A = this chain, B = another copy of it.
Amino acid sequence: MNIKEIKGGVCAPHGFKANGVHCGIRKNKIKKDFALIVSSVRASAAGVYTQNLVKGAPVIVTKKHLTDGFAQAIIVNSGNANTCNSDGIEIAEGMCRMVERVSGIPADDVAVASTGVIGQKLSLEPMLGHIDELYDGLGDNSTAAAEAIMTTDTVRKEVAVEFVLDGKKCRIGGIAKGVGMVCPNMATNLIFLTSDVEISPEMLQKALSEDVKSSFNMVSVDGDQSTNDTCCILANGLAGNAEITQKGAAFKRFAKALNYCTVKLSKMLAKDGEGATKLIECKVKGAASLKAARTVCKTVIKSSLFKAAMFGADANWGRVLCAIGYSGADVDVHKIDVTFISRAGEVKVCENGYGLDFSEELAKKVLTEDEITVLIDLKSGNYSATAWGCDLTYDYVKINGDYRT
């Protein structure tokens, strides 16, 4: 199947416009903090959300608005998570009503998300003062929207692909933000996807729910699961394909294109983890079950000691074995092989659970690259999985030592 990367982010699919502006929630005037994505027609909509018991008010409101399987717009602010506030629901609903007022799209067809500090009151005022500017500027501005949802992100995260269904060109686009408090469970920080594929809400939800298990849920920056994790997708059907209403070849092609986008965004999220200097990919193969494969690679990617070793380009594979051992997965520790791989080459450091003599010089060279794969072969079955994370650095501590100030 041919999947081609294209430009345009969330505006690449037909019928989608976006924008991002500075409204004043953030003090820094050059930092956009208010974003809007709108489809020209009502779209099938699906979402996955944080499993944290402490949920941001926007998560609760979006879940409610998407219950009927349809939506037409997504409104987002950064700089304040609107979480643990007694008036949170009211504020989140107010953001949706703002969209209704300027666009005519019913408030309950609007998804809403907020990201930033937890537990500080969010005022509608700055947004009310800029909603017209935001709406009037809607256009091919995926980049502005991607910038407006960033918090401590250092790069904006956009993707778009083109593929063919029933001879019709179809597109999926996405933007995301990540950085800290990243260890999603069934969803991750903020990810907004658009598509012009025609697909029923049920099948769209099925595709998304299945997808996140191998994409966003396999990312960890710091093991902290955010209260505001939201991943939602709108598919407006303007590509003109025959509507996907059941599993089959078309559904598979759509799911594959979707996974291309979500894995790409997952890697961007991991690589831009707070303070990160390296993307760390952990591939597990030979697992006795999919669950074991996923558990092992996610545990390794979350280990603070392993992450610090990666920062120091130290081939301290004992920490990989240690993390596998406490992961809770049922593995035979006397069968584990570990290899470090990067552009600079590869070096096998552990075989059957025991250390190998390896060239420290080569290991240093391999681990000094900025994208590193640790390959773990459990030699106990046919399941595999991949997880993405980053190194643990001085800057992570610096950024999070005074995030609020």
Q: Which A residues are within 8 Å of any B CB, using their own CB?
A: 51-55, 81, 83-86, 117-121, 180-181, 185, 222-227, 302-305, 308-309, 311-312, 314-319, 321-326, 331, 333, 350, 353-355, 392-394, 396-405
Contacts of A350 in B (CB 8 A): 84, 119
Contacts of A405 in B (CB 8 A): 314
Known: A84-B354, A224-B323, A326-B53. A401 touches B180 (CB 8 A): no
Contacts of A55 in B (CB 8 A): 325
Known: A227-B322, A318-B83, A322-B52. A396 touches B308 (CB 8 A): yes
Q: A83-B321, A309-B403 are in contact. List 13 more A-B contacts (CB 8 A).
A: A53-B324, A53-B325, A54-B322, A54-B325, A84-B350, A85-B354, A118-B322, A223-B223, A225-B322, A227-B321, A308-B401, A309-B400, A314-B403
Known: A222-B304, A304-B223, A333-B53. A397 touches B322 (CB 8 A): no
Contact partner, A404, options B316, B399, B401, B402, Cβ 8 Å: B316
Contact B120 A355 (CB under 8 A): yes
Chain A binding surface SS class:
loop
Contacts of A225 in B (CB 8 A): 322, 325-326
Chain copies in the assembled complex: 2
A121 to chain B, nearest CB (A): 8
The residue among A81, A315, A396 with the most chain B CB atoms within 10 A of its own CB is: A396
Contacts of A303 in B (CB 8 A): 223-224
Q: For residue A329, which residue of chain B has the nearest CB? A: B53
A404 to chain B, nearest CB (A): 5
- Residue contacts A-B, CB under 8 angstroms, 23 given: A52-B325, A52-B326, A53-B331, A54-B353, A83-B321, A84-B350, A84-B355, A86-B354, A117-B316, A118-B319, A180-B305, A185-B326, A223-B223, A223-B303, A224-B323, A308-B396, A308-B401, A311-B397, A311-B401, A312-B402, A314-B403, A316-B403, A396-B397
Contacts of A223 in B (CB 8 A): 223, 302-304
A256 to chain B, nearest CB (A): 31
Please measure, in the bound complex, the distance between the C-alpha atom of A312 and the C-alpha atom of B397, giving whole angstroms: 9
Please measure, in the bound complex, the distance between the C-alpha atom of A350 and the C-alpha atom of B83, giving whole angstroms: 12
Nearest first, the 5 closest Cβ-Cβ pairs linking A and B are: A118-B318, A312-B401, A54-B325, A308-B400, A119-B355
Please measure, in the bound complex, the distance between the C-alpha atom of A180 and the C-alpha atom of B392, giving whole angstroms: 14
The residue among A304, A353, A400 with the most chain B CB atoms within 10 A of its own CB is: A304
